[in-house]
Structure 1
Amino acid sequence: HFSCPSKTFSDSWEIIEGLRGGLSNVQEPENQAGYMLKKRKWPMKGWHKRFFYLDKGILKYAKCAADVEKGKLHGCIDVGLSVMAIKKKAKCIDLDAEENIYHLKIKSQELFDEWVSKLRHHRLYRQNEIAMFPHEKTLFHPHYPLTSSPTIPDSQSIRKRASLAKQSSLHSPVSFTSQAKVTAWLQSSDDMDRCTKELSVCEAQLLELNHLLRSMEVLHRTYSAPAINALQVPSCISAGSIRLHASNPNLSSVDLTNEKTYHETLDSPIDVSKLQEDFCRIVSHKSFHSTMKSALCMLTTEKERLKQMLEHDSCPAPSAQLMGLKNALASAVIQNAELQERLCKIHAESHIPEPSVHINLNSCDGSRPLVHQASNESRASITESLSEFFDAQEVLLSASSSENEPSEDDSYISDISDNVSMENFSNEVENERLNTGCVENGGSQEQRRCCLPSPSPNTSNISLWNILKNNIGKDLSKVAMPVQLNEPLNTLQRLCEELEYSELLDKAAHTQDPFERMVYIATFAVSGYASSYYRAGGKPFNPVLGETYECDRPDKGFCFVAEQVSHHPPISACHAESKNFIFWQDVRWRNKFWGKSMEIVPVGKTHVVLPGFGDHYEWNKVTSCIHNILSGQRWIEHYGEISIKNSNSEKCQCKVTFIKAKYWSSSMNEVEGAVTDHKGKVVHKLFGKWHEGMYYGSPPSATCIWRMNPMPPDYEQYYGFTKFALELNELDPLTKALLPPTDSRLRLDQRLLEEGNVESAEVQKQRIEQLQRERRRVLEDNHMTHQPRFFQKSRDDTWVSNNTYWELRKDPGFSNFDCPVLW
């Protein structure tokens, strides 16, 4: 049940309280209707006026009252299942419904107070309804008009179908031995109550569709109506939507009554087109697909939770012996890593007469051979990925097939596989970059670690709601979080992760055609988001003011340096160089928590210069949103448009769109782009998924430009890190001697978390944050401002490198350098 009290913040945000303590009978509220301003959905900006109708905790909206009457709704919000916050001064109302965040505004203070009062009442009523009748929730149909209509089932028919649904659910067999466990699971699961409600809605909608189909079949036989499969499909829905009854075997198996009963209920010949219109209206409505998708997601989550509970109950409770074995295993893993490191050093110092013989001492090293041919397994993976993607992109194909059918034949997939092999894995031409580096000191390791010292800690005992409930609509960068919620990397290292696929910039530097160069630049911009797919569960450490990070990678041909140049607002600047490119950016983030989701809005530009051609590319970043912050499986979504321009030439430009997931579609993480000339004519098309790969051209001759590297073994247990991320915080004695004391690798709390010492990491984190507050107080008392060491402000207020870091590192070295004490 709901028991979060109202809280008022300094910025006047207030969380609307939910149902308190025990269950109570809440009087049914009166309906509320009227116009409010609603913030436009991405990618549009600004506000527009919409008509809202609030009925028993369900808030529907459309363009006008007539559209609501006709059932032409733009959206439907379950207020009882949403986190609601208000800002009285600005007369704003925010509803976080998990899938979407709705921002509403009212101009009149009187109307604002009236809407808030009604929403409070309806929210309590809806929550009380959910709590009182978790398995018999009121069904609502957002696609039905407000007034009665012959094509709409009345309340009696809905109750009849709900009763049938309940009766059919009683036939589900449950084994006697697991009955108690399942009962306990149901009682402890608030999500199951919501899932039951979603399933009830789904079943009622499917029963309604089945009723319409049966009616049309009876009419066909009785009045010689046209065959159902010959009916004209209205343009309002796609061909894929009308196939719902054919792809769902349960739909035709639901037996409401016999054929005779259907025939008797028809008082007169009904226009088939009217029945067809009703059928299509229900199927094509957003809420129908949204409810189906939501129910499937919750069923999957609850199935996994029940499975874990059954497995847990079938095993004995963790004993001291088991914990001892676990600790012994962790110790053995650390000892094994130390032994491997010693063997690597012995191997490096030994003299081998045959240099062609390669001894791979680190069996888990994920490096590829110079020439890699796609295996059968990789081809199968490519087939699966491409079929999934091309099915979702009907606009790219001349014909669409069922979601379960491959979109192209084996020869096409073979061509794509060959393209992947040639384009993405062949590095004969690029091997010369392995011999380049910014610093000639031998500090970089050839044998890099493939595993962290300790897996990620358990965070199930942390109540995020208690931490975040007072910060609705606020910037979370100023909110102190428990160290368990962090990952053992910080924001400066995250910036370096964007260079994981720097070979795309190397390819661009060796490409003569300017339009193809732009293709590689655009793909590089997309590739920087790939590692976030598995990282929605943790957050990076916030760098303290003056903190630095370097990454010297001769194997990749670049050297990177970053510094935290500002604390309020937090600004991170970085700079990387190789013989082929120069990369820099300064980024500041605005993080806002909306109750169930957190939006991350980056501000700043990314720059890449290709000295060989005199090109200077710059582009923006897109918005990121982490969903299911408080419950369930967190997942991250990126949406927005990246606009890439060459400031030294107007010959071509590129726009890449990260497509926001739609409620009624299973397609996610899709990216589309186009490279155009100075007249706006499209020269190259790009498409793909930011967590899988990118292609350019048009099917079936599309070429793979980039694919995400395979994840290391057991990555789920190690923060979801990629192989490149595993190496970012690695510290060996040779490198340690060359680093400044401000480098992130030397930060104690981050290092302790990586080693699995959570309690000590929390102590050090608080100490380091206190040190930063004291340094800031000293600067303020002396009317001084912090001056970054390795970056300076340019004329356009962006931070750029002063090109002193690597020179100082080389001579005289940072051991003799006056650095602030950060930790």
Structure 2
Amino acid sequence: MRTSIPFRPDKTTSLWSIMKNCIGKELSKIPMPVTFNEPISFTQRLSEDCEYAHLLDEAAATTDPYHRAALVSAFTISSFSSGAWRTGKPFNPLLGETFELDRRATHGYSCILEQVSHHPPICALHATSERGWTFWQDFSMNSKFRGKYLEVVPTGISHIIFHDNDDHFTWTKVSTTIHNIIVGKLWLENAGKMLVTNHTTGVVCELDYKPYSFFSSAEPRTVVGQVKDVSGKVHLTLNGTWDKQISQEAPGESLTPLTMCPEQASDLKADDANGISKRVLWKRTEHVANFEKMYGFTQMAIESNQIGVFEKGCAVTDARFRMDKNVMEQGDFDMANRVKHLLEEGQRFRRRQYEKTQTRWTPCWFELRDDPVVPGRKSHQYKGGYWEAKDSNNFGAHDIVDIYDISPVASKDPKAAEAADQAKTMNVTY
């Protein structure tokens, strides 16, 4: 797999010039030039939640309910780490856009995402592993500009079920704030309280993402947590930062070999005087060389536009084929804007066709069902079929719409249409 992408061109545009008329507005409906983007779609960005899926493998392997809750909580925290140095906005997915992570041969899991709604924007994710877990989420968010900062508030619920005993965990992500919109260097923070709940046993982990304070001596991006049983007794505590690492402490007792994974054994530290056992649950992967020149991308993000041997045969709706971000990745921001406009025009064309025929678009791989743990709430859940279609090379049986077909609107900008055609498969490497 590739380990780098073209460096970001030195192009600057005043974000304030775009945002000054957006105070208090929902930003998902505001058109933005690609100058403020990073060259991936949000379906790809959300898939990065699975970067540290090995934590779920470890959680599935333990029989300790409190250690399992701690590992799940570390997994939820790790999902924020890839964004610590990234202030670029992912491309808004087209309706019906998908993205797959086929890690069955290398990591034992598969993950499929689909943009299931345009207004409001909702992206559904489903991942399952032969190592004993299933993870899914129905993700949406509200984003508003508050004058000096941009606030992003997630509204979806994430679920994990472990196959051995049906432990069912849920959580909702904390808010993200991007600062210095008007002047200064952009920086972001995640802050607020998160409750990770095991609905099967009643065990919870209460996490607190600390906001930045100029007057505090605490390390920036700090997260603390407590794993409690149904009576409220604290069994484990968590502490660390959401961008570097998270440690677990067990007051009054030592961690037994049964609760430890071999690869983590070297991270166990004992404080005999205080009767406390401490171990590192999660560490962020080291940055790739020159990451700051490549949109702050992690290795996983760098690979996400590439179509290699494991992605061969993916659906035509896969975000890897999306042309505007592929053109942007090569550094041609002006042409990327033009291709983006054609893709959006193509989406409007399809919407008008649906209206003319009085038909309604429906997701291909997900369907709206009652949420299994939240009464009265519905969520988009995987209905199956994607991996069977890929493995049998039979996506044709699923009435898939080619969302990257811009032929009906190509005459509006022939040069952009030509660039789009070349960009569709520019990252194929098999």
Query: Scaled by the length of structure 1, what TM-score is found?
Result: 0.44
The equivalent of 1:742 in structure 2 is 317
Q: Deviations over 1:487-531 (max 9, x none)?
A: 111111111101111111000011111111111011111010011
| Structure 2 match to 1:612 | 164
* SS in structure 1 of the partner of residue 281 of structure 2: strand
Partner of 1:581: 133
Task: Kindly report which structure 2 residues correspond to 1:665-814, keeping only aligned pairs within 5 A, or say none.
Answer: 665-667=216-218, 668-697=220-249, 701-732=277-308, 734=309, 737-796=312-371, 797-814=378-395
Show the counterpart of 1:440.
Answer: none
| Matched-pair identity in % | 38
Distance 1:459 1:597, change over 3 A: farther
How much does 1:736 deviate? Answer: 5.8
Deviations 1:410-447 (A, max 9, x none): xxxxxxxxxxxxxxxxxxxxxxxxxxxxxxxxxxxxxx
Mark the CA change 1:512 to 1:455 in structure 2 (over 3 Å): closer, same or farther.
same
Any unmatched runs of 5+ in structure 2? 252-269, 272-276, 372-377, 405-430
Specify whether residues 718 and 812 from structure 1 end up closer, same or farther in structure 2 by C-alpha distance, changes over 3 A only: closer
Shift of residue 817 of structure 1? Answer: 5.4
The structure 2 residue matched to 1:519, chosen from 45, 48, 70, is 70
Shift of 1:737: 4.5
Distance 1:558 1:459 in 2: 39
Matches of 2:393 and 2:323 in 1, distance apart? 26
State how far apart, in whole Å, the 2-side matches of 1:724 and 1:451 are. 11
Q: Alpha-carbon deviation of 1:635?
A: 0.7
Between the aligned partners of 2:139 and 2:164, the Cα distance in structure 1 is: 27
Choose from 91, 97, 105 the match for 1:541.
Answer: 91
Cα-to-partner distance string for 1:181-202 (whole Å, 9 max, x where unaligned):
xxxxxxxxxxxxxxxxxxxxxx
Query: C-alpha distance in 2, partners of 1:491/1:674?
Result: 31
- Report the alpha carbon displacement of residue 822 of structure 1 after superposing the two structures with TM: 1.4
1:449 lines up with 2:2 in the alignment: yes
Q: 1:661 aligns with which of 212, 215, 218?
A: 212
Q: In structure 1, how many angstroms separate the alpha carbons of the residues matched to 2:302 and 2:370?
A: 37
> Which whole-Å CA distance do the structure 2 matches of 1:645 and 1:581 have between them?
16
> Is residue 546–residue 742 contact of structure 1 (8 Å, CA) maintained in 2?
yes
Number of equivalenced pairs = 371
> How far apart, in 2, do the equivalents of 1:757 and 1:813 lie?
35
Once residues 343 and 307 of structure 2 are traced to their aligned partners in structure 1, the CA distance between those partners, rounded to angstroms, is 20
In structure 1, C-alpha distance between the alignment counterparts of 2:205 and 2:217, rounded to whole Å: 27
Matching residue of 1:338: none
Find the counterpart in structure 2 of residue 351 from structure 1.
none
Match of 1:590 in 2: 142
Matches of 1:566 and 1:550 in 2, distance apart? 18
- Report SS of the residue matched to 2:93: coil
Structure 1 segments unaligned to the other structure (5+ residues):
1-447
User: What do residues 122-158 of structure 1 show as CA deviations (whole Å, max 9, x unaligned)?
Assistant: xxxxxxxxxxxxxxxxxxxxxxxxxxxxxxxxxxxxx
Counterpart mapping for 1:42-61 below 5 A: none
1:550 aligns with 2:100: yes
For each residue in 1:579-628, what CA deviation from the matched residue of structure 2 results, as whole angstroms up to 9, or x when unmatched? Answer: 12101001111000112210000001111111012211111110000001
Determine if contact 2:364/2:398 at 8 Å carries over to the other structure: no
Runs of 4 or more, structure 1, over 6 Å off, are none
User: Which residue of 560, 564, 579 corresponds with 2:115?
Assistant: 564
Structure-2 separation of matches of 1:666 and 1:778: 59
Query: Could you tell me how far 1:759 is from its partner in structure 2?
Result: 2.3
Between the two structures, name the one with larger relative contact order (CA 8 Å, sep ≥ 6): 2
TM-fit CA distance, 1:735: 5.1
Letter in 2 for 1:608: I
| One-letter identity of the residue aligned with 1:757 | D
TM-superposed CA distance for 1:463, in Å, is 2.1
Q: In the aligned structure 1, how far is the partner of 2:312 from the partner of 2:241? A: 41
- Pairing 1:245-256 to 2, within 5 Å after superposition: none
Q: Which residue of the partner structure matches residue 635 of structure 1?
A: 187
Q: Using the alignment, how far apart are the partners of 2:133 and 2:24 within structure 1?
A: 39
* C-alpha distance 674-735 of structure 1, shift in aligned 2 (>3 A): closer
Q: Where do residues 338-349 of structure 1 align in structure 2 (5 Å cutoff)?
A: none
Per-residue deviation, 1:739: 1.6
1:545–1:566 contact (8 Å) kept in structure 2: yes
Equivalent residue letter for 1:525: T
Q: Which has the higher helix share?
A: 1
Is this contact kept in 1: 2:120–2:140, CA < 8 A?
A: yes
Correspondent of 1:498 among 28, 32, 49:
49
- 1:220-231 aligned at under 5 Å gives the runs none
What CA distance in whole angstroms lies between the structure 1 residues aligned with 2:400 and 2:326? 20
Distance in 2 between residues matched to 1:760 and 1:565, nearest whole Å = 28
How far does the alpha carbon of each residue in 1:236-273 deviate from its partner, in whole angstroms, 9 at most, with x for none?
Answer: xxxxxxxxxxxxxxxxxxxxxxxxxxxxxxxxxxxxxx
